[in-house]
Each structure stands twice: as C-alpha cells, then as structure tokens.
Amino acid sequence: MRIVVIIPNAEWQSTAGVRIRYERIRPWIEAEGHSFTLQPIDEAMAASERAGDIYLISKCHDVRSQLLTRQLRAEGCAVGIDFFDDYYSQKQDAAFMHLRAWFRMMTAQVDFGLCSTPNMRDRLARLVPDLPLLVMNDPAIGWDDTALAEGLRAVAQRTRASKVLDIGWFGIGDNPYFSLGLEDLHAFSGQLLQIRARGYQPRLRILTNRRALDTRRLEMIARLPVPSLVEEWSEEAETALIADSLFCFLPVNGQEFSTVKSLNRAVSVLAGGSQVLSTGFPLYDTLAPFIYRDLGELLDHLDADTLRVRPQTLPDLGALMEQIGSAQVEAKRLTAFLETLPRPRPHDWPGQKPVIVLQGSRPQGEIHKQVQRQGYLSAASPRTTAKLAFDLSARSDPDGRFVDVVLRDRSVSRLAENWRGRVAKVSPPAGGDPAPTLRLTQDDLPGLRPMLRVSAPRRELEEQSRYRPDMALMAEIITLIFDRPHLFLSEANSPYWSPEIEAQRSDRAHV
Amino acid sequence: MSTALPAAFDPEWYLATYPDVALTGMDPVEHYQRFGRMLGRQPSADAPRSRPVLPHLQPDTATAKPVTPATASAAPELAIPRPSRPGPIIDRPAGFNAAASIPGTLLSNVTERTKPLTLAHLADTPQAESATPAALNTYAKLFGLPAPAKSSARASGNLTGFEPFQTGALRIESLWYETTGTLRLRIAGGEDSAAWVLSAFQAVPDSPDVLHPAGESLVLPAEGPALWDIALVHPMMPVLVQATGPDGMVQATALLAFPSLLPGGLHGAEGKALQRTSNPMDSLWSLTEMLVREKLGKTGANAPSLAGIRVSLRGATGAEPIFAAPTLDWLDTLFGLSVTPIDDAEDALTQGEAALRDLLGERAPARPQGDAGLILTLPGDGLPTLSALVSRRLDNDLPENSAAPYLVAEDANLRPRWMVSPAVGPTSDPSQPSIGTPGLAASATEAAALPVPVAVLFRPRNPPHPTRLLLPVAPDALAQDTKPSKIGPLLVVLTAHDPARMEELLRSVQTMAQADFVVRLAGVDKAALRASLNRILGNGGWRETGLETDLRSLAGEGDTELLLTLDDRVVLYDPQTLVSLKALIDRTPDTASASCLLLAERVVKKAAVLSPAVGGLFPARVSFATSPSLGFHEPDTFQPLPSADYAVVANALPLSLWRRDVLAALPTPDGPVPDHAADIHLGLDALDAGYRHLCSSKIRAGYLGEYVRRDEIDPVGTQYLRPALWEAIFRRVTVLRELF
C-alpha cells in the first residue's frame, strides 16, 4: 500500500502533533513494505501522478479537501479522515456550523475514519454509524527503566523528608471557544488544600502558553489556593517539570470537546516519572491502574511508599504502554485495517459538468487560486468584499428587477449553451473595461430580489440575516446558467451556512 | 490591603524593567497596584528596595523569644530549566523561598505547630478568666460532637464568641479571601495586645473533631495594623480563631462558622446582599451569629426547611462549584445534605453529564434525603445559599418548583454582581433555581414571596463568543428540511426611518408572517419611504399613520389576533424569531406581550463588536424623599439572565409582540404620554389589568445603531404613585438589583 497523509501545508510537518502521531509509526509501516508519506494539500491537488492509493485527510477543513476527495475517489483511491477534536456532535453550538457542514459533506464521501481514543470512536459512530472507524492510539516514547526508577524514588523521598509537595500543571492554558486549561485548573484546585491537612506544604508550578495569560487568567492564577509559579511552556521545561513533581494535576471537565481528548498528557506524565492526579471526567480510565482520582489516596500511598507509579510497578506500566502506545502495534493495526477496506471503483468525475466553488463570507486567496489552478471556477457571492479575480460575480439591481452575472472568458465557455448567446460585453457602472455579462430578470428567476452589498464597515447583524437567502439565490443562478454544475460552498466561518447548497451536495459519492 | 500608588511611580520605567507587564496588556499602574506591589517590585528606579507586602512578623527585639527554626529540613533548590529570556513570566519576589514557610516566629512554648489537635485538647488549653468556651461549644454543636467545655457563668449569649474581636486591639478590621485557600485578616493591633499570639484551626469534613493548625500563628505587634494569613485546609469549613496572651493563657476564641460569606468566598455574594450595616465586619459577625442560631434551632422548634438539593446536569461540566468534592463533603458533614440529579437515568445525557450523575450517585446512598421538607432545585452553575441551608422558617406549603430569589456572582473571581427576584409563582425554567414541596401543586391563592435568596449562580462576566451570542441555538440543529414557519395573521405597526433598512426588514417579516402593515414615517425623507413601501407592499398594501397615533387605537382598528410593534432599526436575522415570540405569548393566557433580547453592534478598531442592548424594562428604584416616585430602567440583563424567560414591567417598543385585543382594551391615557415612556405606560396599564409581559434571552434579534438604555423616574406621571400598587407590580415582574 502507498499511504499518504494530506496536511494543510508544508510547515505542518514540523509540528509536535505530526511527530507524535505519524512519524513514530512511519518506520514500522515501511518495515512492512508499505510507503507512508505526508503531502501538503495544494501539492496533492496539483499532482499529475498520485503518490498513494490510500489517503488520510489530516486537519484540512476547507473546501479543498472535499474537491480532492472527489478527485481521488474517482481515481480509485480510498480516502479517510483523521478526526482529532470533536467539533461535530454539539449540534446546538453555533460556533462550529462551518465545521459541521464540512463534516457532513466529507463523511458522505469518505471510506474510513481514524481517531485516537475509544470515546471519540463511540461519538463518531453515533454520528456516522456506517463509516468504518479505527482507534489509532498516539504512540508513546519509551523510557530508561533505571533512570526513571531512580527519579521516582528520589522525588518521593525528598517529598517525605522536606514535607514540601511539588505539583506540576502544564498545557495550553486557553481556548477561544471552550473553558478549559487554566480555567479547569482554577475550578478543580480547591481539593489541593487537603495537602496541608496531611502535614505537607504544597507548591504548584505551571507551564503554559503566553497567550493564555490575559488579565482574567492572571487573576485566576493569583487566586489559586496554593502558592504557584508560572513559566512559559517548552518541551524541555515540561520534561523537567514532570521529573521534578511528585504528581501532575490533570483535571478534566465534562464538556463534549474535552471528553474525547487523547491520553497524551497522562502518558507523558507517567512515562516522565510523576504520578497523575486526574479529577473531574474520567478521561484516563484506560490507564486506571496508574491514575489517581482521589488526592487522599495519593497522600496515603506517599506516606506508605506505595505510590502507583514506583520502581516496582514499572514493568506493569511498560506492559500497558505496549498495549496502548506502541508504535509497532499501532502501525500493524493500521495497515491491517486499511488492507480490509474496499476501494472505490474508478469513475469519471467531474465528467462534462463544470466544478464551481462559491466563495462565502471571507474567501481565502490561497483556496481561490488553488481552485482555479485545478481548472475549476471560483465564484464570488455578494457576501464577500475580497478583491480577487473571480470567474463570476453578481451585480444586483437595488430594486430587484434584474441581476447581472459578470463572467470571464473561461467561465463563459462553461455556460450552458442556451445562455451563452445572451452574454454581452458590458462596462461596469463604476467604469472600467467591459466584461462578459449575462443579465437575468424576474422572467428567468421568479424569486429574484435585491442582493445588497456588504456594508462598510461590515455589520455582522446584517450579514447574518442576508447570508442564507443570498447564497440560496446565487446557487439558483449558478445551477440555472451552468446547467446543474458540481457546486461547492467554500465557507470557513461560523455561523454562516447554506442548507440549500448542502442539499445539492448530499448525494453520496460511494460507488 | 492598600492599593495606594506611590507618588514616584514611573510607568515607563516599570514597563521597561518588567517585560511581562506588557505581555498581560494591563495598564502599568493597574498592574503595580494589583500584582507588582505584592511581589515586591520597584515602582521606579529611585525607589528604595521594598519588601513584599506579605504578612510577616515584626518582633519586638526586647521581648521576643528566640526563633526556633522549623524542624523539617529545607527542600533543596530545584533546578528547572529556564527559557532563554531572563526570568519567568511572573517572577518571585526577592528572598521568596517557596520551600520554607513564610518567615514568622514560632514560639517554643506553644504546642508543636504542625500537629493537629482535637477539640477537647483545644478546650483544655488554659483559659483566662475573661475567655468563654462559647465558640468551641458552638463548633461542637454544629457537627453533633460532645461539648468540649462547660459553659461558663460569664457566657454572653453570643454563640460565636466574636465580641473580643470586634473592638480594641484585637479588632479584626477586615477579612477576605486573598486566594481561594487563604484568608487574610487585618487586625488593629496595639499596646494592649502586644506579643499576643493569634492562631487559627480548621478541620476537614471527614473528621471535624480533628483541628489542623491553619497556617502560621501571628505575634501581634505593639503598633498596628497587622496583616495575617490563615492558610486553610478546606475552602469552606468553619475556622476557629484563638488569641493567646504572652503567659500562654487563651484570652478569646471566636468561631468563623461560615467563612465562605467573606469577600472572595463562594457565598461572598450572599454576604454582600445581606449586609445590613455600613461596617462589613460587623455585618459579617451579626450575619454569622444569626445563621448559626438558625442552624442550631435557637430561633424555634421547626426542623430545617431544606430536605434535599437537586441539580440539573444539562450543560454541566463538573467544573462548577456544586460538583467539587470539598463542596459536597461540606454539605454532607455540616448540613446532612447530598446533591442528587434531577435528570432521570433514562435521559439522554452526554458522557460528561453521565459521569456527573455517577459521581453524585456514589455519594447519595451515604445520606438519603429527608422525607419531609422543601427541595431546592438548582441549575448546574448554582450553589445553595447559607440562608437556605440553615433556615427553619421557609414556608413548607410552597408548591413544587416555585421561583425563588437568587444571587449572581462572577465565576472567575466570585465577585458579587446581582440579586435576581423572579416573579412570584411557579417556574419551569431550568436555568433558574426553584424550591418547593415535591408533589404540591400551585394553589389558587397567591404564594408568598420568599424572604431570602436560595442560591448563588456563578456566571461569566463577559458574553460568550460572538457566534454563540448571536445564535444561542445553531440553525443547523433543526432538521435540515425544516422550513421557517410563518405566523399570522399579524398587524405590524412599523416605525420607519430609513428606506433601505425598512425594505430589508419588510422582506424578512414577509417570510415570517402573513402581515398587514401600518407605518409611521419617522424618517426625514418621507417620499422615499412611501416609494419603498409601495414597491415592496404595493400601493394599497399598507396604511400610513401619524407618529402621535396611540397604539391602543391602532389595535382597536385591527382584527388580527396579534400585533407587532417594530422599528426598522431591528434586524430579524433568525427566521424563527416571530414563531418563538408567539410561542412565548401562547404559554399562558395572561401574557399580554412578548419580546426578546436585542443585540447591538458597534465597530471598534474596524472589528464589529456585538453586545446585549436591551432585554426589557425593570423596576429600578423607589423613593419617598419628596413625593413617592417609582423608577424604571433597562439594565444589562445578560449576566443575570443569559438564557431565561422572565417577566418584565414592559417590553421595549422597537420589537414587541402583543395580544391585539388586550392592547385595544387598555384605558386611553388622560393626556399625552412622552415617546420615551410609551412602552412603560402600556406595560403598567396591562399589569394593572392583571396581565404580564414576558421577555426571553433565549430568543435574539439585532438592533442597528447605538441603543441608549433608559433610566426613567415617574415616566408616567402621578398615575402610578400609589405605593399600594407597587407590591402587586413587584410580585409579578423580575426585580434585578446590582450588588457592586
């Protein structure tokens, strides 16, 4: 098999996520005689020769992944999605409408899905029951038994002798959409006070990202119930913090986004020589024998020198990691799973019909250009102010009597034949070179009405009320004059949504 | 703690010297006042080197005993790899050694400080003649423990023993939560108490008779004030504070029975709301005394009113205070109450909600709910107030799910924000607390308003992400093929200013309703407005009326079931808005009008910023200073009522849906009513006729331009200056009171 992971861009290859999830299994996959490569999406779209026969879409949430999936499956390649975060199941949340739309469009086409936890698999299975899913755990790195044992012993002894109990917390401290990170630390920190009742003096060290330290979170940190020190996160600092702490505090709240997160943090702590205290949602149940849910129990074990992670239990910890975090095991499971998948039958797509991408509220130039490089048409909606060389746009009469569809030569040639004859070169009202223009009236479109331009400055209240009806009208116009083309919506912002365009795309592509 | 700014403070030097200040985005003055001074930072290049403003001892070198170092070995300096930039983001103050205790004098003749004591042991400590054991005995009674000491003949009747700490050199001038695990006291100090030692003790819930030293003791200076930190072992358990003389005799012991009432505590909003005196400390002591008396049954023979606490798990994450182990342990140990979910086992809960149900289920069998008494039902972000927990005098005949007053505090810092008194009567709104006897239906007679707030709800200060503010429920949550519903027939009274805006609004209304339009031309260019109306509605498809025409008479001329008042500055971006408002009106036959939260938008540095504009009119103030007067206002309702249906005095006219016949039947005013008070006048008249008005923050619409919130006094003249009417108004509307 030739397995290709599609990533958003070349810079993505150097991220920690890619390193942990893909690079660690690559050698084992290649050892089985398969190939395993990462490819940026624009390269994949433009490639004249396919690098793989099985493709995995990873963190590419824009319309290009929909177009590429169509192309690949038409060529007989199987396509899957690597699902990381749950932006899809909270259907009432307006913040992720565009991602849910992407999810619906993609899962109607793809052949399989991957995720990193059983919780995520169960959640996806409820949303797309017919999609084959595989849990591929994030592989863990190993450890030096002797050094780890010595470190564990030293920290426990030092804690008992000095009566100072070092606690670590590390991670991304903020999220623009969810309350987590430092807010979870603050919310669950009250139980740390019992450390004092047991005769120890707690001190907490926090490693986090700078962006998280706004006034609100700084105040939260200042109000933490135990003395704390904050430093900027780095990989080296995290490694040292784990090694130096008696336990790392990993509280987890129960919102849907948090309950499907991977086990990475706990695995890093256990493999790094510290105990894990995790309260709140039992995210780390898979690691249960080595996870503390009750601080009182942890303190009892500390006093009795029977901490869950100690030199004597390292073999058991190793066996568990082998089960859930072995790169070799995960690679083998992945290849076995992929080998069982049926491949799509090659078919002609897009056939003779043009492919048109209608750009939504804030088009991205990169996507617009890629669409055009593929030979597809990039259409502007009235809801955008971007100054890009669109293949078609609409100029609406303020009274709604007509709409002028402004075209380019490459789009004129794709019009349905009966409309081509009505195209005339017309100068724009504001002056400039004449452009091919097709005027549609209420005779052509009985539901025609004015489509107003974006106000300056832009008003979200107006855009919210105009978006859906205008996109529906644009879809109607495009469908009419191009004779039912393959129409896609490129929308990367919420809460913008076009159920009318989505309904057109809801035909399953499986053959 | 003083936040006075030194005269020599140099903001530019401060910013350049401490680079993390710029990272926080805070003004350097604010940063120094809130954090820098405490950390011991210099205010300017020339300022003398300051010490951190942490409580420390000022030993009198003439009389202090020699310092005995702590017997525990000091922790070695731990090597943490530092980033390449100099210093951490929040640096340690000079000399800060986190491994050692805060420097203090440990007196060798005091019991070894690290070991816990029993209550009896504490009582056995030699007591001065002036000392009373009241605090210790009260503590024992609170937990059902044997009394550790005989009551003395000098017992003052004061159960918490706070009097010695109210006056003189021992006076506690101020007391607050410096962090969620540390109480900070400011003590007057003085010659009379020089070299006295203050100690604090606290237990954990599973062993209330074992008292742990809460932080270091404080040797009082000859000249005050002195600051002292009490390092808690539990965020909410009672704290015993003891003053011991130089001779080792206990001079006074006080019981801080409910420290969470303090500023910064989980019940800080309750402490603020119930503050009766101008001195917060006097108020705290008297409130604590009152609550303790109630708890111990000193006020009557009734059993505790509250028999159980239920919580809704919908939307709960477990990060809320009600689910915290310390809170649950405290409720169980001190009040014998457990928290149970109202959600049935068969309800479709998320994984997180199900985990919470399991968590509560594991605790419930330990202490089953009482059979008789009131059940308090809370949303997930709520916590029972102490007043509700201790009360023995709440009405046991309260019907199930009766609305009850509650408090709102900020979730991040627990600052008190609001007291909300909903309209008296039943509630089905899960976002608000309710109380009542299970199975008891509402009776024909009006229930009495509850005298105390029953819960504190913890809410964020700022509105949510703009997309969620705009749409509390995503439209794709509905079935994909659901078409927006239309209501009608509907008479729309439209106030028009701008032709383009008006046209757009008319088109959207036409998709939502079968409507007839009566239009008041308020804009300058009336010809353009008329032309637009003719274009959209057709000649004869609308009727013009004067700006002065009263709504009552317009309503009387129509024959539709519903009448909508609408301003063309409103944006109905949600196609379901009118359907939802109609559903609100249809809920009960006595609802005269319904409206929703309006969001306004303003541009800040080229970005659109959405914020709540108006969500109904509320009573604001009552004054008898010169003549009786009643005021109304439009507060920012989002924090106290972010997702609720609530009763208001009136709905604002830019968007309100009415029962047309109710509006038509309202009495005609005696004289002209100013425009800015027209909706209040209508609202009050309808209330007087026995109707009510509902507003909902679950439904939202937009408002273009700046909405100037009104604050009106006697907006309708003398008609409503009969105080006897006010009680009837206040019972049937929501009253919001700001606590800050």
CATH of the domain at A220: 3.40.50
Alpha helix positions (H), B550-705: 551-557, 577-586, 660-665, 678-688
Residue A33 token pair: 């005689």
Q: Is B457 helix (H, G, I), strand (E, B) or coil?
A: strand
With an 8 Å Cβ cutoff, is A215 touching chain B?
yes
For residue A190, give the nearest of B25, B326, B573 by CB distance: B326
Cβ–Cβ gap B465/A220 under 8 Å: no
Cα separation, B204 vs B234, in Å, equals 6
Cβ–Cβ gap A190/B181 under 8 Å: yes
Asked whether the predicted pLDDT for residue B96 surpasses 60, the reply is no
Average pLDDT over residues A377-387: 94
Residue A41 lies in a domain: yes
Average pLDDT over residues A236-256: 96
Burial grade of B697 (CB within 10 A; 0-12, 13-18, 19 or more):
buried
Cα separation, B631 vs B619, in Å, equals 6
Q: Left if phi > 0, otherwise alpha if psi is -120 to 50, otherwise beta: which for B43?
A: alpha
Residue A506 pLDDT grade (very low, low, confident, very high; cuts 50, 70, 90) = low
Q: Which residue has the tokens 């592509």?
A: A509
Provide the residue range defining the domain that includes A168: 145-319
CB B110 within 8 A of CB B197: yes
Nearest to A270 by CA among A154, A173, A141, A165: A141
Cβ–Cβ gap B88/A461 under 8 Å: no
With an 8 Å Cβ cutoff, is B478 touching chain A?
no
With an 8 Å Cβ cutoff, is A158 touching chain B?
yes
**Strand B306-311, strand B339-341: pairing:** parallel
Cβ–Cβ gap A94/B467 under 8 Å: yes
With an 8 Å Cβ cutoff, is B359 touching chain A?
no
Both A154 and A277 in one domain: the answer is yes
Nearest to B168 by CA among B140, B148, B190, B151: B190
Tell me which chain B residues have a C-beta less than 8 angstroms from the C-beta of A222.
34-35, 179
Q: What is the CATH number of the domain that holds A40?
A: 3.40.50.2000
Tell me which chain A residues have a C-beta less than 8 angstroms from the C-beta of B351.
119, 123, 254, 256, 259, 281
pLDDT in the model for residue B155 = 53
Nearest to B163 by CA among B1, B288, B49: B288
Cβ–Cβ gap A186/B471 under 8 Å: no
Cα separation, B570 vs B572, in Å, equals 6
- The 10s digit of each residue's pLDDT in A114-162 is 999 999 999 999 999 999 999 999 888 788 999 999 999 999 999 999 9
Asked whether the predicted pLDDT for residue B446 surpasses 70, the reply is no
Tell me which chain B residues have a C-beta less than 8 angstroms from the C-beta of A184.
319
Both A208 and A187 in one domain: the answer is yes
Residue B152 pLDDT grade (very low, low, confident, very high; cuts 50, 70, 90) = low
State whether CATH 2.60.40.10 applies to domain B117-257.
yes
Cβ–Cβ gap A232/B507 under 8 Å: no
pLDDT in the model for residue A393 = 96
Cβ–Cβ gap B507/A449 under 8 Å: yes
ipTM tops 0.90: yes
CB interface of A with B, residues 113-142, below 8 Å: 119, 123
Q: Mark which of A340, A373, A399 sits at the end of a domain.
A: A340
Cβ–Cβ gap B606/A457 under 8 Å: yes
Torsion over CA: B1, B4, B9, B15 (sign): positive
> CA dist B195 to A430, B502, B637, Å?
87, 78, 52
Tell me which chain A residues have a C-beta less than 8 angstroms from the C-beta of B233.
193-194, 196-197
CB A210 within 8 A of CB A250: no
Domain range summary for chain B, segments of one domain joined by +: 1-53, 117-257, 306-459, 470-738
CB B519 within 8 A of CB B566: no
Query: Vertex B135, ends B132 and B138: CA angle to 5°?
Result: 125
Cβ–Cβ gap A93/B72 under 8 Å: no
Chain B: closest CA distance from residue A168 (Å): 12
Both A262 and A396 in one domain: the answer is no
Both A94 and A225 in one domain: the answer is no
With an 8 Å Cβ cutoff, is B602 touching chain A?
no
More confident residue, A311 or B21: A311
Residue A67 lies in a domain: yes
> CA dist B701 to A78, A462, B570, B579, Å?
45, 11, 7, 13
Both A57 and A175 in one domain: the answer is no
CB interface of B with A, residues 560-579, below 8 Å: 571-573
pLDDT in the model for residue B366 = 52
Residue A276 token pair: 């894990």
Asked whether the predicted pLDDT for residue A489 surpasses 70, the reply is yes
Both A95 and A216 in one domain: the answer is no
Q: Left if phi > 0, otherwise alpha if psi is -120 to 50, otherwise beta: which for B25?
A: left
Q: Which residue has the tokens 């009750």?
A: A294
pLDDT in the model for residue B95 = 44
Residue A439 lies in a domain: yes
Q: Which residue of A has its CA nearest to B265?
A: A223
Domain count, chain A: 3
Residue B26 pLDDT grade (very low, low, confident, very high; cuts 50, 70, 90) = confident
Both A311 and A377 in one domain: the answer is no
pLDDT in the model for residue B397 = 84
Burial grade of A266 (CB within 10 A; 0-12, 13-18, 19 or more):
buried
CB A500 within 8 A of CB A471: yes
Beta strands in B379-477 (DSSP E): 382-384, 402-403, 406-410, 416-421, 434-436, 455-459
CB A367 within 8 A of CB A490: yes
Tell me which chain A residues have a C-beta less than 8 angstroms from the C-beta of B466.
460
Please give the CATH architecture assigned to the domain spanning B470-738: Alpha-Beta Complex (3.90)
Chain B: closest CA distance from residue A48 (Å): 38
Both A149 and A135 in one domain: the answer is no
With an 8 Å Cβ cutoff, is B655 touching chain A?
no
Tell me which chain A residues have a C-beta less than 8 angstroms from the C-beta of B352.
253-256, 258-259, 281
pLDDT in the model for residue A107 = 97
Asked whether the predicted pLDDT for residue A310 surpasses 70, the reply is yes
More confident residue, B132 or B556: B556
Residue A116 lies in a domain: yes
pLDDT in the model for residue B483 = 63
Q: At B534, which helix (H) or strand (E)?
A: helix B526-537
Asked whether the predicted pLDDT for residue B70 surpasses 70, the reply is no
Cβ–Cβ gap A259/B351 under 8 Å: yes
Both A370 and A299 in one domain: the answer is no
Asked whether the predicted pLDDT for residue B93 surpasses 60, the reply is no
CB A484 within 8 A of CB A353: yes
Asked whether the predicted pLDDT for residue A429 surpasses 50, the reply is yes
Backbone φ and ψ for A201, nearest 5 degrees, come out as: -110, 115
pLDDT in the model for residue B718 = 59
Both A303 and A368 in one domain: the answer is no
CB interface of A with B, residues 428-457, below 8 Å: 449-450, 452, 457
Cβ–Cβ gap A196/B573 under 8 Å: no
Both A368 and A228 in one domain: the answer is no
Which of A281, A399, A452, A463 is the best mutation test for B, with the most CBs of B within 10 A? Answer: A281
Which of B117, B353, B467 is the best mutation test for A, with the most CBs of A within 10 A? Answer: B467
Cα separation, B485 vs B483, in Å, equals 6
Return the amino acid letter for B633.
H
Cβ–Cβ gap A97/B474 under 8 Å: yes
Tell me which chain B residues have a C-beta less than 8 angstroms from the C-beta of A197.
116, 204, 212, 233-234
Cβ–Cβ gap B351/A281 under 8 Å: yes
Biggest CA-to-CA distance, chain B: 100
Chain A: closest CA distance from residue B32 (Å): 13
Q: Which residue of B has its CA nearest to A191?
A: B326
Return the amino acid letter for A429.
P
Both A382 and A279 in one domain: the answer is no
User: Residues, chain B, total?
Assistant: 740
Q: Mark which of A306, A340, A374 sits at the end of a domain.
A: A340
Residue B295 token pair: 């708890």
With an 8 Å Cβ cutoff, is B702 touching chain A?
yes
For residue B471, give the nearest of A177, A218, A495 by CB distance: A495
Residue A365 lies in a domain: yes
**Strand B218-219, strand A164-171: pairing:** unpaired
- The 10s digit of each residue's pLDDT in B325-374 is 999 999 999 999 999 999 877 778 999 999 999 999 998 755 555 557 89
Which of B180, B360, B609 is the best mutation test for A, with the most CBs of A within 10 A? Answer: B180
Alpha helix positions (H), A47-117: 63-74, 97-107
Cα separation, A117 vs A119, in Å, equals 5
- The 10s digit of each residue's pLDDT in B477-496 is 876 555 667 897 999 999 99
pLDDT in the model for residue B72 = 40
Predicted model pTM? 0.88
Q: Left if phi > 0, otherwise alpha if psi is -120 to 50, otherwise beta: which for B245?
A: beta
Residue B396 pLDDT grade (very low, low, confident, very high; cuts 50, 70, 90) = confident
Average pLDDT over residues B597-622: 90
Cβ–Cβ gap B99/A203 under 8 Å: yes
